[in-house]
Structure 1
């Protein structure tokens, strides 16, 4: 293969090393560059709940590649064209929201990876896409790189998805999984309490199934006091997590601004 670069995130995961990143929900090249400057390993460009989409997502991917941080795109939905366009724009990872069945997982894999085409579900093919350097990379090299290095992650965000988890994890071409705690807490009527006892029970079952399947998984470390984050990271690392998302640019900015303002506020 002459395609020149690997996917550092997939390589770190394969080596059992940890990687850290954030969601980028603002349409901000600066946010991507700052994440890289801070030493983070990846950014998840959030088309589902954030501002990026279309050509602006491509611009953020370019920024990530220019400053050496891995660009992952959380697509807005499971539409095959949306999945394909994110990969063709140069995303090194795809986050697929709200996967509820093995069939949905297979459809996502077929939309992202050439080697997993199925009748009526394969992705389109164009030799001049940006990810193939507009046609400069030989097509066999590009398709081999795509299938080897683009990381496909499925998000489990519903009771239906949890019931089908074992079948989803067994789908060839799925590279990683994440638990959508907030969506699940909402569906379970927990009023957004994603870290209470009820959700911890859900997480324990999720963890048991993911561990049994040997599937890499993304964990969330909630922004907060450094000691609490350090403890959460160590616990999740012991439980087998290797990818840690530390909140979103919006969330971290709000926390930072509040922290800067706090010394100027009247004492309680």
Structure 2
């Protein structure tokens, strides 16, 4: 199959978990490091990242070279933007702020070439980068694209939640994602963004997705903490398989904070911690 099966779809078909993160800095190195750390996919974030399509293409190439699956979060639902990122080589697309079933259908159609009565509307170009024009036939590429590209829809509004059952009924969704931060902001909730009301909304969201037979993504903080490992194990027991561990910015900040924490605590504490490390 051209060029190879989507590794994320293969893992989900085998009922294996997949781990990913958002990459919001213009850094192919970050994509390569994520692959080395054991992530299965990188969501190259054109919506909230500080870069454009040229930089995203370099990050897609880094993903291809390092064995991590490149997904792209687009800044809008326009067919032109969806087409550009998949022609650049994205193996899946995160579609933002889906509020209605019609929007879901339109996005899925824009990512599918017309084949029979599948409703695809994707424009065709046999010399697009993703088509590997010198290495494979066009019809092989069309079949591969229709079968292997992942469609991930983000529901990030109260309107989207009201229409969730209709959205879930649209054929062709590989993963659906709850935009917790956007909802927290829209609902005007005070305090931590992991507010108990957002947790309640997520549980309802997850229950409805399971009933519809649609995979959904679960947000974890970091698997390095015992509480997160317990959360992950409980989620796996519920049948959840898609996990996002935040963004490169968040993970880098945590690493930097961990490195400076002993000094921030004061010289006496730092010296005691240093001494403790020497004690067998």
TM range (shorter): over 0.9
The residue aligned with 1:226 is 225
CA contact (8 A) 1:185 1:192 kept: no
Cα RMSD over matched residues? 2.0
SS at match of 2:154: strand
SS at match of 1:209: helix
TM-score, normalised with respect to structure 1: 0.94
Q: 1:209 to 1:44 in 2, by over 3 A?
A: same
Q: 1:116 to 1:260 in 2, by over 3 A?
A: farther
Task: Please state how far the C-alpha of 1:135 moved relative to its aligned partner.
Answer: 5.0
- Unaligned ranges ≥5, structure 2: 270-280
The residue aligned with 1:144 is 143
Aligned 1:185-264 pairs, distance under 5 A: 185-191=184-190, 193-223=192-222, 226-264=225-263
Once residues 176 and 113 of structure 1 are traced to their aligned partners in structure 2, the CA distance between those partners, rounded to angstroms, is 16
Partner deviation per Cα, 1:156-178 (whole Å, 9 max, x = no partner): 10010011111111111221101
Task: Please state how far the C-alpha of 1:53 moved relative to its aligned partner.
Answer: 2.0
Aligned 1:28-47 pairs, distance under 5 A: 28-47=27-46
CA contact (8 A) 1:182 1:192 kept: no
19-28 or 235-244, which deviates more = 235-244
TM-score, normalised with respect to structure 2: 0.90
Partner deviation per Cα, 1:102-151 (whole Å, 9 max, x = no partner): 00001101111114799998121101111111353211100100011100
Q: Which has the larger radius of gyration?
A: 2
- Unaligned ranges ≥5, structure 1: none
The residue aligned with 2:93 is 94
SS at match of 2:132: helix
23-32 or 185-194, which deviates more = 185-194
CA contact (8 A) 1:177 1:215 kept: yes
118-127 or 161-170, which deviates more = 118-127
Once residues 115 and 61 of structure 2 are traced to their aligned partners in structure 1, the CA distance between those partners, rounded to angstroms, is 27
The residue aligned with 2:278 is none
